[in-house]
């Protein structure tokens, strides 16, 4: 074995001189004869050379190129949050669901699958792991389909709070999803891929959102006199989701101010931001006298008031959800309300 390798390169380069010496000088060999004689003597050299070429160039393409390509493809394909649903929040867990078609672009043709794998989610900034997701097998052929439907346990609740807080404070955050899987594609040998995907989490300017056109509409409002359970009004509002994914928050409560003074508070007992605008209930306890006085003689147009909205807490089934509370608490924004349009009942 060793010896062959050593001599292999020599015959290849000295063949022409060997050949002419080997041929009897009288007969004029045809080109074909010379070729076959040459091949008879040196076939093994060509075989070895062929094997070397295969080993050196082709296999890396399969073993290195395919994983590299797959990693590149996963790295560069934009992850879409559309269709993502976060529900059933608990202090250290929540449910996540996403069913979506994945684009099968680039050179990934043919059918195959990516094995199921566990992905670790980390905060990009600190590299701290805060949860893991078990990504199911993803089969592809005519496109691919992702189907995630599971609980995510949080190993770092503060990390999740940071992400949620940033999202509500117009600060973006980045996550890294890490994992390793095997890619089976057609007849190509199984390729081991290391996945490290950066994901951007969008954020919102709540001030802009609250004052933007059509972010929420008050569909109905009832004054409760005498108050019921401490609330002196209830209302039904339609809320537009500022984001692209659905999120079940539970009971969110906000304190209200006007000109820096306490006006009261509102509680939204079942806040679930879905893709389409959706109705939700608001229960409130406010100083009506102060509101009406401001509407009539305040600095805004007649009937219009500017109410300061300050996040207080968020709970689900009566249990505080620390990461959502962090997001809600980050909200402190003024909102202009046209009481004549929304709450003319206040003046009757
Ligand atoms: C994919 O992204 C990760 C992290 O950004 C990087 O370390 C890795 O080299 C990338 N892979 C390819 C094939 O570009
Ligand atoms: C993911 O992790 C869980 C628990 O640690 C384990 O039971 C499961 O087999 C893992 N799944 C894969 C695909 O490695
Ligand atoms: C949000 O937008 C408002 C008005 O456009 C601006 O005054 C405020 O600074 C912004 N807030 C953040 C956190 O960027
Ligand atoms: C509120 O009403 C306006 C006009 O009636 C509409 O354009 C907007 O989409 C509505 N917003 C919601 C969240 O329903
Ligand atoms: C608001 O209060 C009125 C009067 O008590 C009641 O009929 C209505 O069902 C309440 N609406 C909500 C959304 O709680
Ligand atoms: C803030 O809101 C909470 C409930 O949402 C309420 O218990 C608390 O009294 C409010 N604080 C003020 C100063 O209004
Ligand atoms: C950091 C961040 O997300 N900033 C955003 C704040 O809000 C404005 C307007 O909505 C965006 O343009 C910024 O990108």
Q: Is the CB of 75 under 6 A from ligand 1?
A: yes
Q: Which of 94, 99, 97, 102 is nearest to 85 (CA)?
A: 97
Res. 175: pLDDT tops 50:
yes
Residue 112 resides in a domain: yes
Res. 270: pLDDT tops 90:
yes
Candidate of 230, 231, 265 to mutate for ligand 6, largest count of ligand atoms within 8 Å of Cβ: 265
What's the pLDDT tens digit per position in 205-262? 888 888 888 888 888 888 898 999 999 999 999 999 888 889 999 999 999 999 999 9
What is the whole-number distance in angstroms between the Cα of residue 169 and the centre of ligand 3? 9
Same domain, 309 and 252: yes
Q: How many CB atoms lie within 10 A of CB 302?
A: 10
Candidate of 234, 278, 283 to mutate for ligand 5, largest count of ligand atoms within 8 Å of Cβ: 234
- Contacts of residue 150, Cβ cutoff 8 Å, sequence gap at least 6: 95, 96, 97, 133, 134
Cis before 226? omega within 30: yes
Same domain, 199 and 56: yes
Which range in 6-20, 65-79, 252-266, 285-299 is most confidently predicted, on average pLDDT?
Answer: 252-266
What's the pLDDT tens digit per position in 137-147? 888 777 777 88
- The least confident of 108-112, 207-211, 340-344 is 108-112
Structure tokens at 31: 């080109």
Ligand nearest to the CA of 219: 4
What is the whole-number distance in angstroms between the Cα of residue 213 and the centre of ligand 4? 8
What is the whole-number distance in angstroms between the Cα of residue 214 and the centre of ligand 4? 4
Torsion sign across C-alpha atoms 115, 120, 122, 127? negative
For helices 2-22 and 31-53, give the axis angle rounded to 10 degrees: 160
Nearest CA to ligand 5 atom 13: 281
Q: Which segments of the chain does DSSP mark as H helices, in order?
A: 2-22, 31-53, 59, 66-76, 157-168, 206-211, 288-297, 322-329, 339-342
The reported pTM is 0.79
Q: Is the CB of 71 under 6 A from ligand 1?
A: yes
Candidate of 166, 171, 205 to mutate for ligand 7, largest count of ligand atoms within 8 Å of Cβ: 205
Q: Is the CB of 319 under 6 A from ligand 2?
A: no
Specify the pLDDT at position 207.
Answer: 85
Which is more confidently placed, 173 or 71? 173
- Residues 21, 24: Cα–Cα separation, whole Å: 8
Specify the pLDDT at position 66.
Answer: 64
Q: Is the CB of 234 under 6 A from ligand 5?
A: yes
Q: Is the CB of 203 under 6 A from ligand 7?
A: yes
Residue 21 resides in a domain: no
Same domain, 164 and 237: no
- Contacts of residue 289, Cβ cutoff 8 Å, sequence gap at least 6: none
Atom of ligand 1 nearest to the CA of 75: 1
Tell me the residue ranges of DSSP E strands in 186-215: 188-201
Q: Is the CB of 281 under 6 A from ligand 5?
A: yes
Inter-CA distances, 215 with 185, 238, 291, Å: 46, 8, 22
Number of structural domains (the chain) is 2
Res. 52: pLDDT tops 90:
no
- Contacts of residue 227, Cβ cutoff 8 Å, sequence gap at least 6: 285
Which is more confidently placed, 209 or 342? 209
Same domain, 84 and 182: yes
- Contacts of residue 333, Cβ cutoff 8 Å, sequence gap at least 6: 206, 207, 210, 308, 309
* DSSP labels, 113-151: EE--EEEEEEETTT--EEEEEEEPPEEEESEEEEEEEEE
Nearest CA to ligand 2 atom 13: 117
Q: Which of 112, 33, 106, 16 is nearest to 68 (CA)?
A: 106
Same domain, 193 and 240: no
Same domain, 252 and 105: no
Domain boundary (162, 178, 203) is at 203
Domain that holds residue 265: 206-346
- Residues 40, 32: Cα–Cα separation, whole Å: 12
Residue 339 resides in a domain: yes
- The least confident of 130-134, 219-223, 304-308 is 219-223
Specify the pLDDT at position 65.
Answer: 63
């Amino acid at each position: 074995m060793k010896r062959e390798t050593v001599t292999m390169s020599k015959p290849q380069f000295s063949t022409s001189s060997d050949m002419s010496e080997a041929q009897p000088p009288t007969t004029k060999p045809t080109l074909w004869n010379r070729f076959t004689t040459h091949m008879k003597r040196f076939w093994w050299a060509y075989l070895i050379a062929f094997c070397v070429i295969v080993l050196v160039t082709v296999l890396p393409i399969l073993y290195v190129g395919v994983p590299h390509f797959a990693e590149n493809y996963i790295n560069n394909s934009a992850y879409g949050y559309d269709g993502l649903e976060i529900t059933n929040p608990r202090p250290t867990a929540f449910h996540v669901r996403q069913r979506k078609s994945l684009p099968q672009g680039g050179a990934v043709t043919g059918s195959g699958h990516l094995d199921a794998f566990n992905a670790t989610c980390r905060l990009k900034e600190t590299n701290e792991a805060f949860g893991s997701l078990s990504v199911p097998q993803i089969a592809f052929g005519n496109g691919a389909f992702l189907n995630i439907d599971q609980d995510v346990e949080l190993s770092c609740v503060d990390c999740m709070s940071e992400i949620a807080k940033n999202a509500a404070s117009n600060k973006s955050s980045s996550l890294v999803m890490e994992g390793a899987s095997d890619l089976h594609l057609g007849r190509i040998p199984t390729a081991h891929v290391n996945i490290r995907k950066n994901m951007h989490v969008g954020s919102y300017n709540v001030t802009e959102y609250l004052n933007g056109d059509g972010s929420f509409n008050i569909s109905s409002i009832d004054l409760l006199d005498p108050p019921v359970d401490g609330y002196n009004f209830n209302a039904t509002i339609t809320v537009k989701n500022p984001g692209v994914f659905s999120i079940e928050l539970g009971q969110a409560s906000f304190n209200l101010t006007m000109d820096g003074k306490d006006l009261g508070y509102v509680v939204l007992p079942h806040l679930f931001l879905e893709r389409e605008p959706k109705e939700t209930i608001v229960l409130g306890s406010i100083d009506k006298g102060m509101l009406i006085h401001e509407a009539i003689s305040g600095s805004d147009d007649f009937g219009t008031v500017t109410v300061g909205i300050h996040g207080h807490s968020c709970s689900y089934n009566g249990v505080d959800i620390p990461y959502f509370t962090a997001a809600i608490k980050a909200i402190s924004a003024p909102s202009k309300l046209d009481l004549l349009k929304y709450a003319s009942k206040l003046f009757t």
